Amino acid sequence: MPPRYQPFREFHIVVLGAGGVGKSCLTAQFVHKEWIESYDPTIEDSYRTQVSIDGRQIILEILDTAGTDQFVAMRDLYMKTGQGFLLVFSITSKSSLDELASLREEIIRIKDDETVPIVLVGNKSDLEDQRVVERAKAFSISQRWEAPYYETSARTRTNVDEVFIDLCRQMLRRDDANEAANDDEPYDKHESTNPFARKSRRKRRHREHKCVIL
């Protein structure tokens, strides 16, 4: 049998937030389903994984960033490359939530786009007795940002898949919308009146889709 080729999407996710909020633990739980008890501050790690969402195959490149003292130039670069962002704080630290506002503004400035896919994540929900960020407060911020809010626990693996899947769905919707918009745009003034030219343009674009052997 010939090898099966399937069209797939590749998305870049960036995990951002203050040091120690659980970015690496969330990523490790999502990618490897493993819990890391020890704290080893990240410099920068990236993971490649494949998921199937609503029947569509997606390759995810996940960048787990350093919480503190990052080079601004490095941040600019991955904000440009990123297509979806997990903004993570810990429900046990008010300042970790406060830090996210400026990160979000930076993302919007660098991408020059207010509708970039974002999920606000309140991690360490298993530490309810140490909670200092009210759920309602985080939720109202997320509403202002027009981003969904999830409370997660990397320790108990609560809502870990859900945040990544939500972000993927946002990125897929956006991709589909862009594609539909491109379909409506005439390639040039001759194409708009020449159905054969329109057909050939579609073919060209489809060829640009990458294929992998899955």
Can residue 70 be called a binding residue for Mg ion (CB under 5 A)?
A: no
Among ligand GTP, Mg ion, none, what binds residue 186 when CB lies within 5 to 8 Å by partner kind? none
In the stretch 92-131, what mask flags binding to ligand GTP with x, by CB under 6 A?
-------------------------------xx-xx----
Among Mg ion, ligand GTP, none, what binds residue 20 when CB lies within 5 to 8 Å by partner kind? ligand GTP
Can residue 7 be called a binding residue for ligand GTP (CB under 6 A)?
A: no
First to last CA, the chain: 14
Q: Residue 17 region, left (φ>0) first, then alpha (ψ -120 to 50), else beta?
A: left
Single-letter code of the amino acid located at 172: L
* Chain centroid to CA 136: 23
Could you tell me which of 14, 12, 25 has the C-alpha nearest to residue 123?
25
Can residue 41 be called a binding residue for ligand GTP (CB under 6 A)?
A: yes
Can residue 27 be called a binding residue for Mg ion (CB under 5 A)?
A: no
Taking the complex as a whole, the smallest distance from the CB of residue 39 to Mg ion amounts, in Å, to 8
Identify each DSSP E strand in 39-191 by its residue range. Answer: 44-53, 56-65, 84-90, 118-123, 149-151
Which residues make up the interface to ligand GTP (CB under 6 A)?
Answer: 17, 19-25, 36-39, 41-42, 66-67, 123-124, 126-127, 153-155
